[in-house]
Amino acid sequence: MKNVTDRVSNPFGLSPDCDRFVPGYGDANADFHVIGDHPGVHGGLRTGVPFTGSAAGERFLDALVRAGLLETAGDEPAVDSTYLSYLHMCEATGDRLGPDGTPTRASYDDMERFFDAEVRAIAAHVLLPVGERATRHVLEQYTAQAHKTSIRMDDLHGREIRGSGWLVLPIKDPAEWTETRDPTDGGDAAGSPDGDRLVDALATLRATDYRRESDLGRFIAGSDPYLVR
């Protein structure tokens, strides 16, 4: 079933009870769903778009452009079958803010209903959790692999894991990506092995049958296909 909407920002009109939030952004019929943590970690409060407004976010979105998941980066990325959202879309303030500066466990639990609704509405074929918290949550909630998978992001970065109806490809937090530097330009960052590794992993994935669908239309009346995972 296809979602019928041309809205790119918050296509399902979610409205959590908080003063400022960063809603999901992208193609409501995406094949790839990128999942970050919260705006305080991955940005977007100024632009209203996940993974924008920080150097790490820009580095990450540029990698998605190179991998073909976005057409352009910037504050309003041009999406191509990709959706971006957060586990916790609200800005963490007041009762939502824990002593360590991150959302409280109760706030994450409260926001879960919005996140889960988006995951199931988008029904992307590939989930791309970014960072340890998002990866742990996705593996626990949408796969049967959590109990036998050690959450070491250096090891999981760009590695395919099969879930329950989803393929999961965890991504190391872009703020922690290693960088190579070009001594000829005064030491400015010239690239990231972690970024290259992600681009290569996504290129390999896109060259395969990542949708993993079977057409059962031959078992029902009519000539329309009936695709299931």
Please give the pLDDT value at position 223: 55
pTM: 0.87
Confidence of residue 216 (pLDDT cuts 50, 70, 90): very low
Q: Which helix (H) or strand (E) holds 85?
A: strand 82-86
Domains belonging to the chain, first-starting first, are: 25-228 (3.40.470.10)
Tokens of 8: 């790119």
Q: In angstroms, rounded to a whole number, what is the distance separating the alpha carbons of residues 75 and 47?
A: 6
Q: In angstroms, rounded to a whole number, what is the distance separating the alpha carbons of residues 200 and 194?
A: 10
Q: Please determine, for residue 148, whether its predicted confidence score (pLDDT) is greater than 80.
A: no
- Residues 46-73 have pLDDT tens digits of 999 999 999 999 999 999 999 999 999 9
Distance, C-alpha 22 to centroid of its chain = 13
- Residues 113-131 have pLDDT tens digits of 999 999 999 999 999 999 9
In angstroms, how far is the first alpha carbon of the chain from the final one?
Answer: 13
